[in-house]
Structure 1
Amino acid sequence: MDNCPALSRILWSCMLLSCLCGLSYGTELSFVTCGSVVKLLNIKHNVRLHSHDVRYGSGSGQQSVTGITSVEDSNSYWSVRGTSDAVCYRGTPVKCGQTIRLTHVNTGRNLHSHYFASPLSSNQEVSAFGEEGEGDHLDEWTVQCSGSVWKREEAVRFRHKATDALLSVTGEEYGRPIHGQREVHAMTAPSQHSLWKAMEGIFMKPSESPLGNRDSSHSHTEF
């Protein structure tokens, strides 16, 4: 999928549309896999990681990333992908300590961070960057969890590989035009503000082929 980002976005859009039109299936998967499309909940503040085609008015001027309380918003879906240096084969469980990219499904931009100051708290800015799923090394995040793989029921952290800061929410709220949305930023010290859990989404199943061939089977949770 990483080699055909435009095709991938079309595929995910079709999948999401079919689910939103009434198709919903339970899943036996207990872990997050490469190629899955998920919503991520900050468990301290009960907001889902969100983005939209609204740019910051300061700092980098890149696409903003926020936290929202709404469960249904389609702008909160992120695709779990590999990096330019390490392919993340569809359906493979994401390991604790693995570096991934999170691509915003509706805009094709990657979760990104750098040393710009965030607009409300002056912590490290988090933005969405790139085109059609391709950006740069500042789009890479390491999954921090306690076992061998990223379990769906587990609260995990995402550490920005280049700056060593953690994806966080501390409660600052925006005014117009995105009134009530929370600032998402990155902070060096781990805390309750940097714990996230995989929620609604489409979870790709590992291949069941005895030869180990990778397939495109998937399972859904209810949206």
Structure 2
Amino acid sequence: MRLFPALWALCNILLAQAGRGPQQVTCGSLLKLINVHHKIRLHSHDVKYGSGSGQQSVTGTDQKEDVNSHWAIKGPTARKQCKRGEPVECGQEIRLEHSTTSRNLHSHHFSSPLSNNQEISAFGDGGNGDTGDVWSVVCDGDFWQRDAPIMFKHSDTGIFLGASGHTFGRPIHGQMEIIGLSMPDISTKWRTAEGIFVHPSDFNPKRTKHDEL
């Protein structure tokens, strides 16, 4: 019976360590991104812009529970996928696929509807789009760290993903305009919020039942 408190304490330590897990953001993760300055989550929905490209709009919302704010991390092209569970490196090119509509975070040389900056949209069909869907992760160190501020630089046009501070009226009342900026500023910093973070598997199929015991 004297061993019970020690075993209980050890279990608590192991559970706490397991709960923390790897702190790098990994390929295949499904997450929300929050703008550090404006405190809004990157968001999309099946509502098209009434001007510019007419593509699916991308906005910012202050609603934490909205399922339309989830984005999946993928490789830059269908042929160049990143390995599921592999940490995303600083400088690595990725795509962000909107989980609800399966369109990719996108930009191009169209003007944004409210502030006349560069438009950010969601584009593609079933996760397939074009080179305008590719972004590089701008961060310090070797890997994209959870909770650390980072930036996204558009590979085609060189703009940085940001938020204008302007909000829309109907039909997306109160949601904030997301834009591309030629130079980074306080609105171009993002960090991870809620999500499902995929960790590298430590399962080894070559292990025998004796080893597992």
With normalisation by structure 2, the TM-score equals 0.85
Q: What is the match of residue 152 of structure 1?
A: 146
- Say yes or no: does 1:69 pair with 2:62: yes
Q: 2:108 & 2:23 partners in 1: Cα distance? A: 32
The count of corresponding residues between Structure 1 and Structure 2 is 188
Paired letter, 1:75: N
Q: What is the match of residue 44 of structure 1?
A: 37
Aligned CA-pair RMSD? 1.5
For residues 79-98 of structure 1, what are the structure 2 equivalents within 5 Å?
79-84=72-77, 85-98=79-92
Q: Which segments of structure 1 move beyond 3 Å, counting only runs of 4 or more?
A: none
**Structure 2 portions without partners, runs of 5+:** 1-17, 206-213
Paired letter, 2:173: H
Q: Is the 8 A contact 1:29 1:203 kept in 2?
A: no
Q: 1:201 & 1:27 partners in 2: Cα distance? A: 14
Q: What is the match of residue 200 of structure 2?
A: 206
Summarize the Cα distance change of 1:126–1:90 in structure 2 as closer, same or farther, 3 Å threshold. Answer: same
Write out per-residue CA displacement over residues 79-121 of structure 1, whole angstroms, 9 at most, x where no aligned residue: 0000215220100000000000000000000000000000000
Identity %: 52
* Match among 183, 192, 195 for residue 186 of structure 2: 192
**Alpha-carbon deviation of 1:209?**
4.3
What SS does structure 2 have at the residue aligned with 1:204?
Answer: coil
**Alpha-carbon deviation of 1:29?**
2.4
**Structure 1 portions without partners, runs of 5+:** 1-24, 212-223
- Say yes or no: does 1:174 pair with 2:140: no
Paired letter, 1:189: M
Q: 1:26 & 1:56 partners in 2: Cα distance? A: 41
- Which protein is bigger by CA-based radius of gyration? 2
- Say yes or no: does 1:115 pair with 2:109: yes
- Say yes or no: does 1:143 pair with 2:137: yes
* Match among 45, 49, 53 for residue 56 of structure 1: 49
Q: What is the match of residue 121 of structure 2?
A: 127
